[in-house]
Chains A and B, each alone.
Chain A
Amino acid sequence: MTTATDTTPAAPVLSVQGLSVRFRMRGGAFVRAVSDAHFELGSGECLALVGESGCGKSVLASALLGLLPGNAETAGSALLGGDIDLLSADEQTLARTVRGRRIGLVPQSPAAHLTPVRTVRSQLEETVRELTGTPKPDVRKAAVAAAERAAFPADHLDRHPHELSGGLAQRAATALALIGDAPLLLADEPTTGLDRDLVERTVDELKRHTGDTRALLMITHDLAAAERIADRIAVMYAGRIVEQADARAFFGEPGPRHPYARGLLNALPEREFTPIPGMPPELADLPAGCAFAPRCPSATPACEELPLLVDGVACHHALEAQRA
């Protein structure tokens, strides 16, 4: 189900195949946070991974960064640039060559991500020293340039994180994420808690930084933010990617093909504003068949069997859903 685009070079920036993550709980139970995820990301591409809170999005991101807790078990592979498997790489490799250098992380709550007791300038300079070979006398200039790249105002460089508004803290975090010039940007809920204008500015900036040379994986529950910048959409439900689609087809015509994705869009206040009945299943107690069945208007006995992702959608009745 690779959606190769003409801008994709030989090896995709990121190729995730059969990625699963489960957490071993006390008493031997498992929480299956991510099940069998497949997707690829080429340079110049922006993929938005959407879904409600708790569906496994952030666990997937942590898996790519090698930041899973000790009780996690993974399967599958996640090839970065065709040469390094993020799932089997050791911590030293991840710390020295991947995080910051090959994957730039734009965090969920920038204020919490920045070190509270140090100024933005000193954090930028430290990251410049760590990640680039900039000679000592040039570090200061490089840090100023890094701030400028993320539109962080130079006259705020000597402030501490708590002296920044949410928008400026977000830019400071983005500036840090860009220093290593990583080919993959990973943004986990980069707009939570920001107001609409700031959401738009933040995602526009992420898109701009992606340009033609990087790839962006944006994790979000904000469908409007996803619609604004994504080339492709992946919808996650109960740990599974249930639909992958071209963003324009998804938000416009012909619309989502998976009943959950359709329900999610219809819940928007600019659409029908009707919720999907019920709540997602517990990840510790997933059914054998389609996890959406108890909430699905199109469910039939066929849905007791797990639907595979075929042609971008994991649903036994995807076409009917689209026509309905």
Chain B
Amino acid sequence: MLELQDVTAGYERRAPVFRDVSLTVAPGEAVGLLGPSGCGKSTLARVAALLHRPDAGRVVIDGTPAGGWRHRAPRAQRTAFGVVFQQPRLSADPRLRLADLVAEPLRANGRSAEVADAVRELTERVGLGPELLGRRPHEVSDGQLQRACLARALILKPRWLVCDEMTAMLDASTTAALVAVVEEYRAESGAGLLAVGHDRVLLRRWCDRTVEWDGLGASPGE
């Protein structure tokens, strides 16, 4: 279970983006969070994935309260999450070849021995051929780079996936392909999903249930 309890968060203490938001994702469940741009849903997604420290409230992951945020989060909790953002170019280190981009979480966790096999399996799964793996981000399209970012998010076999507007920049076919990869992974691993976005048609088709930002009980920051 992924539980967000009465979370208040933002970028300035005195003016949080939202207050008192609660949201729960059951094990294996896919929840779509819908809201207009600027409402704070990306901020909430980052809190859920332990990437942004809330001003107040709790995040409980499979019964254990979050033990820290960002690099201070306990490794076991940090690696329980796979995260994909809207803009692959902002989240991918431009110097890394795609193969190294995908392998990065394994190396960062001292598991270099597994890199070769895992990279082969995951890049195949997301449809990236070996000829692309030697390229750097500026040498591939947005869709190809997002495929690599999804492979990276799955490489530690997370129990929770957080996808923030993962497909907003992508064409219909690449969108359907990436969603299919996420769903295939979830079907075999039982991972839960929090998908954030503004495309109602997409999230309704993709997720078990969708919730509206306005229905979360968020009171505005100021």
| A-to-B contact residues, CB < 8 Å | 51-54, 165-166, 192-198, 221, 223, 263-265, 267-270, 273-276, 278-279
Task: Determine if B37 and A166 form an interchain contact, defined as CB atoms under 8 angstroms apart.
Answer: yes
**A193 and B36 in contact, given A269-B206, A275-B176, A275-B180 (Cβ under 8 angstroms):** no
Partner of B36, one of A195, A264, A269: A195
B212 to chain A, nearest CB (A): 13
Give B174's nearest chain A residue, CB to CB: A52
Residues of A within 8 A of B179 (CB): 273
Bound complex: CA of A195 vs CA of B204, how far in Å? Answer: 16
Task: Determine if A269 and B201 form an interchain contact, defined as CB atoms under 8 angstroms apart.
Answer: yes
A228 to chain B, nearest CB (A): 14
Q: Which of B127, B200, B201 has the most CB of A within 10 A?
A: B201
**Tier of interface size on chain B:** 20 to 34
Give B127's nearest chain A residue, CB to CB: A279
Partner of A263, one of B173, B202, B205: B173
Give A52's nearest chain B residue, CB to CB: B171
Bound complex: CA of A223 vs CA of B37, how far in Å? Answer: 20
What are some 5 contacts across the A-B interface (CB < 8 A)? A52-B143, A53-B141, A270-B201, A279-B127, A279-B129
Contact pattern, B 159-202, Cβ under 8 Å of A = 1, otherwise 0: 00000000011111111110110000000000000000011111
Q: Taking the complex as formed, is B55 at the interface, i.e. its CB lies under 8 A from any CB of chain A?
A: no
Task: Determine if A269 and B37 form an interchain contact, defined as CB atoms under 8 angstroms apart.
Answer: no
Task: Determine if A53 and B176 form an interchain contact, defined as CB atoms under 8 angstroms apart.
Answer: no
**A269 and B202 in contact, given A193-B169, A195-B36, A278-B127 (Cβ under 8 angstroms):** yes
The residues in B between 120 and 157 inclusive whose CB is less than 8 angstroms from any CB of A are 127, 129, 141-144
**A221 and B176 in contact, given A53-B142, A165-B38 (Cβ under 8 angstroms):** no
A108 to chain B, nearest CB (A): 11
Give A193's nearest chain B residue, CB to CB: B168
Task: Determine if B205 and A269 form an interchain contact, defined as CB atoms under 8 angstroms apart.
Answer: yes
Bound complex: CA of A117 vs CA of B171, how far in Å? Answer: 33
A322 to chain B, nearest CB (A): 19
Task: Determine if A267 and B176 form an interchain contact, defined as CB atoms under 8 angstroms apart.
Answer: yes
Bound complex: CA of A223 vs CA of B174, how far in Å? Answer: 13
Partner of B143, one of A53, A196, A198, A264: A53
**A198 and B176 in contact, given A221-B171, A278-B127 (Cβ under 8 angstroms):** no
